[in-house]
Amino acid sequence: MEISAIKSELIKILGKDKVLTDDLDLMYYSYDSSFLTKLHPKAPYAVVMPRSTGEVQKVTRFAYENNIKIVPRGAGTGETGGCIALEGGIVFDLSSWNDIDEIDAANMQVIVRPGVIHAELNKELNKKNLFFPPDPGSSLMCTIGGMVANNASGLRAVKYGCTEQYILGLEIVLPNGEIIKTGGQKTKCIKNVSGLNLNKLMVGSEGVLGIITQIRLRCWPKPKARGIAMAVFDDLDQAPAAVLDVYQSGILPSGIEILDSSAISAVNQYKPEINLPRAEAILLFEVDGNPPSVDYEGSLIKEIAGKRAVSVEWATDPQRMNELWEGRSVTATAAARVRADGTRVFAGEDIAVPLDKVADTLRQIRALAAKYDILVVNYGHIGDGNVHTAPVINPEVPEEVEKVQQLVHEIHLLAIELQGSTTGEHGVGAVRRQYAELEHGPAVKYMQGVKSVFDDKGLMNPGKLF
């Protein structure tokens, strides 16, 4: 079918207000937050903005009958080109479908439509002393649909896990227009082992199996107290060793973050008033729970980390906690500003490695940065081995673009070599699919087999995952 005919048919199905066809509008949908799309933007044929399952179904059926590719999109904060129509087709922009259908506090759950923004959801849940714990750095922008599709998480994953742990049920429109519910047709229970676990299959499926149109999420009671410890190390190896000591003492902090010397310098350069101590590494431990347990765990962390650190400070006073945490909260922005003529690129930024390989990983990344003569700022969620590497280049200089691509390729290979993963957070999308065979081996064939059960014509978000 001609692209112009596709556009007019979509307008017939949904009406003019819910379909974008102008080149200027479509250009916006050529990008997400990845470096890939900055280099190779790709516009869809048209964008639809459905506001009901029936509307999603109608467009999906039309696409299926006419063999047109379809790509779901939330807020476009993904770092891997996941929501881009790389092979053309129709983008489903679900970001305006942001209804919270029900907060069922009695059953510790909430039912939402895919476009609800993460921070907005937690604002509403907070009124009932509940929260949805995964906490991506993009909380103010990203949608719950995008979080489910990417199995998003954040710095509190060390205690609270990733989005997958909170999915009780999903409504999904399959590429052929069929609607299914995972986790039970009518169930409202929070414990359920009935049937093959399609919830788990859908979480992290990055839009290649179907369009998520409703999400039933488990909520947790909101902790009453919080404390922060900052430990400063003059020897990089002592930092992961201190993390292990804390675990072995029986404490599970709600966050354990590392800033290595590159991140410490970036923060001090960006905001000198923060004045982080010059060191090989800084660890930030966050503990939450009830006040007596927070006090107890904080004093124990201070004592344990103090055996390896040059200094440790523990705080429960809100103002002091903010001061201790400020360096971490500005790290991503600081990384982007370390070079006046450069910017951070999101390309190889979220590998995960075993806990006992974090120090080695950081050292090897520093060596790779030196080899390619590229500034790299390292920080991350050390508690679960998720290392963020922020390469900073001038994207207008082709040699730098070429070099950074080689650098991130080596970082991805390093992760696999060190028994880690190419992505602990942001997903595979188009950027990391080249590593699928290396990381998963023959299992990829079975992943592709599963996809073909849901998507027999191969129309759903092609060019992603594998």
Ligand X SMILES: Cc1cc2nc3c(=O)[nH]c(=O)nc-3n(C[C@H](O)[C@H](O)[C@H](O)COP(=O)(O)OP(=O)(O)OC[C@H]3O[C@@H](n4cnc5c(N)ncnc54)[C@H](O)[C@@H]3O)c2cc1C
CB of 22 to ligand X, least distance (A): 20
Residue 461 binds ligand X, judged by CB under 6 A: yes
CB of 299 to ligand X, least distance (A): 29
Nearer to ligand X, 43 or 315 (CB): 43
CB of 149 to ligand X, least distance (A): 3
- HEC states along the chain? CCHHHHHHHHHHHHCHHHEECCHHHHHHCCCCCCHHHHHCCCCCCEEECCCCHHHHHHHHHHHHHCCCCEEEECCCCCCCCCCCCCCCCEEEECCCCCCEEEEEHHHCEEEECCCCEHHHHHHHHHCCCEECCCCCCCCCCCEHHHHHHHCCCCCCHHHHCCHHHHEEEEEEECCCCCEEEECCCCCCCCCCCCCCCHHHHHCCCCCCCCEEEEEEEECEECCCEEEEEEEEECCCCHHHHHHHHHHHCCCCCCEEEEEEHHHHHHHHHHCHHHCCCCCCEEEEEEEEECHHHHHHHHHHHHHHHHCCCCEEEEECCHHHHHHHHHHHHCHHHHHHCCCCCCEECCCCCEEECCHHHHHHHHHHHHHHHHHHCCEEEEEEEHHHCEEEEEEEECCCCHHHHHHHHHHHHHHHHHHHHCCCECCCCCCCCCCCHHHHHHHHCCHHHHHHHHHHHHCCCCCECCCCCC
Residue 463 binds ligand X, judged by CB under 6 A: no
Nearer to ligand X, 251 or 332 (CB): 332
Nearer to ligand X, 310 or 332 (CB): 332
Span interacting with ligand X, options 102-110, 120-128, 136-144, 265-273, rule CB under 6 A: 136-144
Nearer to ligand X, 238 or 254 (CB): 254
Residue 50 binds ligand X, judged by CB under 6 A: no
> Which position among 43, 90, 94, 287 is part of the footprint of ligand X (CB under 6 A)?
94
CB of 312 to ligand X, least distance (A): 26
Using CB under 6 A as the criterion, what x/- string covers residues 144-163 for binding ligand X?
Answer: -xxx-xx-xxx---------
Span interacting with ligand X, options 73-81, 243-251, 320-328, 392-400, rule CB under 6 A: 73-81
In the chain, the N- to C-terminal Cα span, in Å, equals 27
The answer to whether the Cα torsion of 360, 414, 353, 149 is positive or negative is positive
Nearer to ligand X, 97 or 372 (CB): 97
> Which position among 156, 426, 433, 451 is part of the footprint of ligand X (CB under 6 A)?
426
Residue 32 binds ligand X, judged by CB under 6 A: yes
Q: 41 is written with which tokens?
A: 């933007």
Span interacting with ligand X, options 140-148, 268-276, 394-402, 435-443, rule CB under 6 A: 140-148
Nearer to ligand X, 29 or 233 (CB): 29
> Which position among 37, 62, 63, 76 is part of the footprint of ligand X (CB under 6 A)?
76
Cβ atoms of 216 and 183 closer than 8 Å: yes
- Distance separating alpha carbons of residues 294 and 215, to the nearest angstrom: 33
Using CB under 6 A as the criterion, what x/- string covers residues 222-251 for binding ligand X?
Answer: ------------------------------
Q: 116 is written with which tokens?
A: 């609800």
Cβ atoms of 244 and 325 closer than 8 Å: no
Residue 169 binds ligand X, judged by CB under 6 A: no
How many residues bind ligand X (CB under 6 A)? The answer is: 36
Decide the pairing of beta strands 90-93 and 70-73. parallel
Span interacting with ligand X, options 3-11, 134-142, 177-185, 389-397, rule CB under 6 A: 134-142
Residue 175 binds ligand X, judged by CB under 6 A: no
Nearer to ligand X, 305 or 392 (CB): 392
> Which position among 77, 361, 389, 421 is part of the footprint of ligand X (CB under 6 A)?
77
Nearer to ligand X, 150 or 421 (CB): 150
Burial class of 364 by CB neighbour count within 10 A (0 to 12, 13 to 18, 19+): middle
CB of 172 to ligand X, least distance (A): 8
CB of 326 to ligand X, least distance (A): 17
Dihedral over alpha carbons 389, 394, 398, 401 (to 10 degrees):
10
> Which position among 114, 169, 175, 383 is part of the footprint of ligand X (CB under 6 A)?
114
> Which position among 41, 88, 137, 184 is part of the footprint of ligand X (CB under 6 A)?
137
> Which position among 36, 48, 59, 83 is part of the footprint of ligand X (CB under 6 A)?
83
> Which position among 19, 29, 46, 74 is part of the footprint of ligand X (CB under 6 A)?
74
CB of 77 to ligand X, least distance (A): 3
Which residue ranges make up the site for ligand X (CB under 6 A)? Answer: 32-33, 71-79, 82-83, 94, 114, 136-138, 142-143, 145-147, 149-150, 152-154, 206-207, 211-212, 425-426, 429, 461
